[in-house]
Chains A and B, each alone.
Chain A
Amino acid sequence: MAFILSFAALIPLDSLGHYIHWGWVEISVANFIIIILMIATFIAAITAPFPGRRRRKENR
């Protein structure tokens, strides 16, 4: 339980959220991180080799 609570303490949830202000753009840090992660996942998905692909090419 203490192990789980130590993880929970990393992100204080009882305080106000943090926001990024960039001209007319206003976005919460949490949402910004999620969008960055989605973009990173998309790039990784189209560039990372898929397991078994090389073996299939060799068999052709």
Chain B
Amino acid sequence: MSSSEIERQWTTRLRHRVEGKLPPEKLLPDTQPNYVSSWIYVFGVATMSALFVVIATGCILALRGPQWWHGSAYGHFINSLHLWSVEIFFFSMVVHLWGKFAMAAWRGGRALTWMTGVITFLASVATAFTGYVSQSNFDSQWISTQAKDGINATGAGAYFNVLNLGQMLMWHIVLLPLAAVALTALHIVLVRIKGVVPPFEENPVVENAEVTQ
């Protein structure tokens, strides 16, 4: 195979494109700009760390099942870890969101990074909701019977039946976590490609500014 044929292959073209957009030193950088040394930049990583614990504890709950998480001390412990890591996940995500909103973090061609964050937030809300209705206790029965009227009013009830425990559990442990993790990965890759948004300039140059006397 000639070198020009190799260069035309989609694998070669894709590799060159990935290498150009995201070289290893950008994917795993050694240093960050000085302005990143603030506590407000910690909450994105805190959210990601909480997500890791959510997934890990969710895997243990899936392995052992509802009778175990309702009926044993160790099951209660892992169940509580799953709940509280979700609480920390949303807490950190909201502070991260406020911080990025205040920085107008969509500047400098970062609109897609911002939008993937927005969609990840929405997917996470849906994941948490299906988790609440999948607990298999009186709380989940109460939440699902309260939610069904709202969902049915949107017309989505025909496809998304909150009273169907099997369907809600599948959404909670397969579809929505896949979406949330994939979107989080995409969000992080975009942050690495574009870098952390710089702060606002103290004295920005205003183009076409009119001087009045």
Determine the distance from Cα of A46 to Cα of B40 in the docked complex, in whole angstroms.
6
A5 touches B (CB below 8 Å): no
Determine the distance from Cα of A45 to Cα of B98 in the docked complex, in whole angstroms.
11
When distances are taken between beta carbons in the complex, the residues of chain A under 8 Å from B38 are 45-46, 50, 53
| Distance of B43 from chain A, by nearest CB (Å) | 7
When distances are taken between beta carbons in the complex, the residues of chain B under 8 Å from A28 are none
When distances are taken between beta carbons in the complex, the residues of chain B under 8 Å from A52 are 37
A21 touches B (CB below 8 Å): no
- Chain A count of residues within 8 A CB distance of the other chain: 13
Instruction: Determine the main DSSP class of B at the interface with A.
Output: helix
**B interface residue count range (under 10 / 10 to 19 / 20 to 34 / 35 or more):** 10 to 19
Which A-chain residue is minimally distant from B94 (CB atoms)?
A38
Determine the distance from Cα of A47 to Cα of B61 in the docked complex, in whole angstroms.
39
B42 touches A (CB below 8 Å): yes
A45 touches B91 (CB 8 A): no
When distances are taken between beta carbons in the complex, the residues of chain A under 8 Å from B40 are 42, 45-46
| Distance of A14 from chain B, by nearest CB (Å) | 12
| Distance of B32 from chain A, by nearest CB (Å) | 11
- Which B residues form the contact surface with A (CB < 8 A)? 34, 37-40, 42-43, 91, 94-95, 98-99, 102
